[in-house]
Amino acid sequence: MDPCPLPLSEINAIVGRENVLTSQEDCACYAYDASKLRAFPQCVVFPNTVQEVSELLKLANRHLLPVFPRGAGSGIVGAAVPRGGGMVLAMNHFNRILEIDEDDMIAIVEPAVITGELQRRVLEHGLFYPPDPASLHFSTLGGNVAMCAGGPKAVKYGVTRDYLLGMELVLPTGSILQTGKKTYKGVVGYDLTRLMVGSEGTLGVFTKLIFRLLPAPEAVRTMMAAFPRIENAAQTVSQILKSRIIPSTLELMDQSTLQVVENYLHMGLPQDCEAILIIEVDGREDLLDHDMAKIQSICETNGARNMDVAAESSDRERIWRARRSISPALGRIKPGKINEDVTVPRAQIPSLIRHIRRLADKYGLTIVSFGHAGDGNIHTNIMLDRKNHEELNRAEKAVEELFRVVLDLGGTLSGEHGVGITKSPFFMWEVGKAGYEAMLRIKQALDPNNIMNPGKMFLPDRAFFQP
């Protein structure tokens, strides 16, 4: 479909010419996200107020102009890529923390506030915003809500959806509405706030977000333990949780990851073990040594070796260095990768890892797996050179087979990254025909002209499906 002619003078009249970019060079900066997919928009617009967003969406409906909301562009599945051309709605000017309410433990923010910035600011008040995607130093809270971002702390603290109480948003047709309240409870009507979480920019543009906060934990303890067999690591995870200790993180690195990181850091990581766990507990200072002792004992019972308990913050930093070095270490094996974030019930992690090894052998690929053992979210990285089409073809077949395995194990195709463009061919595999059609009806009811982030989640040729 050809892009529609750009109603530039009308756009300029709404936001001011200084807030509109149209040159190829400028548009190139908004053509991509971390998926490496790329498509040029016709213009990039920086609205300043909710009324401007509303006017822009009304205009887009009149001209059938696609609109692509954008935060930091760090998404991994192409959800912010303006495929098909249209207007990128860059939310950069909505970057203020509006309120931190210490008594009610609530923060009200605009959507372009960087996740880590909110964490830092609330900590100054003794408060804690737990969702911790690895991208927290550059991703925005609006993007986090749209993708329901999560991180290592999800095992104890949950993900973005667990902290969002309400929002101000503009529906695709231009109406401005408020969902939720500053209260934790609220049961008046459908839960539109939850509907917006994970909506990937397809149902509306968020302009204000209300988050609940927690008291900041007093202290943290960290340890690392190596396990000869992956089953022992998985067993350890479930025994720790059953012992009524919920660690704030329970990270797993498989043998292939250990080898890659050791070659990069030379820090003495065991090479003959199938997995290591990084375990962290937080909370009241006077309870943590007791929790750590209990966890160590569970690890020992399950045959753990090379146990490394951080006594000082420098030891803690050393342990986390291993985990944080995975990405740069991977970059040394191959220039590219396909990074899937499949998630299975915890007890199925060993089975998943063995299937992944089988796929690596079957398709002649290097596959490195690590991730959040506490919630079964395993990042599966297929290393490749994207210019090698034959290798890419094998990798894509392996991904398809991986997705079938994950669904058979009772898991989900994505724990954190979402559907976007890259997973849209597999969307119906997980949600089923009835689920797909129900979601499509919601999309069509709120966005009758399909202007909001078209071509995401729903396959392009099914997005106009009429029930």
Ligand X SMILES: Cc1cc2nc3c(=O)[nH]c(=O)nc-3n(C[C@H](O)[C@H](O)[C@H](O)COP(=O)(O)OP(=O)(O)OC[C@H]3O[C@@H](n4cnc5c(N)ncnc54)[C@H](O)[C@@H]3O)c2cc1C
- For CA atoms 130, 131, 134, 137, give the dihedral sign: negative
Cα gap 382→360, rounded to integer Å:
8
Q: How far is the CB of 7 from ligand X (least distance, A)?
A: 21
Please tell me whether residue 272 adopts helix, strand or coil conformation: coil
Measuring CA to CA, which residue among 309, 288, 69, 261 is closest to residue 169?
69
Give the number of residues written for the chain.
467
Give the nearer residue to ligand X in terms of CB position, either 143 or 350: 143
H or E stretch including 432? helix 427-446
Cα gap 235→101, rounded to integer Å:
41
β-pair partners for 377? 343, 372
Give the nearer residue to ligand X in terms of CB position, either 37 or 134: 134
Give the nearer residue to ligand X in terms of CB position, either 143 or 454: 143
CB 193 within 8 A of CB 166: yes
Q: How far is the CB of 73 from ligand X (least distance, A)?
A: 4
Cα gap 156→144, rounded to integer Å:
18
Cα gap 371→355, rounded to integer Å:
16
Calculate the CA dihedral of residues 408, 409, 415, 420 and round it to 10 degrees. Answer: -10
Give the nearer residue to ligand X in terms of CB position, either 138 or 429: 138
Give the nearer residue to ligand X in terms of CB position, either 298 or 420: 420
Measuring CA to CA, which residue among 306, 193, 294 is closest to residue 240?
294
Supply 367's token pair: 């596959």
Residue 272 burial class via C-beta count within 10 angstroms: exposed 0-12, middle 13-18, buried 19 and up:
exposed
Backbone angles phi, psi at 224, to 5 degrees: -130, 140
Q: How far is the CB of 466 from ligand X (least distance, A)?
A: 24
Give the nearer residue to ligand X in terms of CB position, either 134 or 392: 134
Give the nearer residue to ligand X in terms of CB position, either 148 or 295: 148
Alpha helices in 48-108 (DSSP H): 50-63
CB 101 within 8 A of CB 183: no
Q: How far is the CB of 91 from ligand X (least distance, A)?
A: 5
Give the nearer residue to ligand X in terms of CB position, either 70 or 394: 70
8-state DSSP, 367: E
Count other C-beta atoms under 10 Å from residue 445's C-beta: 9
Q: How far is the CB of 16 from ligand X (least distance, A)?
A: 20
Q: How far is the CB of 33 from ligand X (least distance, A)?
A: 5
Give the nearer residue to ligand X in terms of CB position, either 140 or 369: 140
Q: How far is the CB of 90 from ligand X (least distance, A)?
A: 9
Spell out the SS3 assignment of 379-392: EEEEEECCCCHHHH
Give the nearer residue to ligand X in terms of CB position, either 69 or 174: 69
Q: How far is the CB of 53 from ligand X (least distance, A)?
A: 9
Q: How far is the CB of 247 from ligand X (least distance, A)?
A: 17
Q: How far is the CB of 159 from ligand X (least distance, A)?
A: 8
Give the nearer residue to ligand X in terms of CB position, either 68 or 157: 68
Q: How far is the CB of 198 from ligand X (least distance, A)?
A: 10
Residues that bind ligand X (CB under 6 A): 33-34, 68-76, 79-80, 91, 111, 133-135, 139-140, 142-144, 146-147, 149-151, 200-201, 205-206, 416-417, 453
Residue 215 burial class via C-beta count within 10 angstroms: exposed 0-12, middle 13-18, buried 19 and up:
exposed
Cα gap 374→238, rounded to integer Å:
8
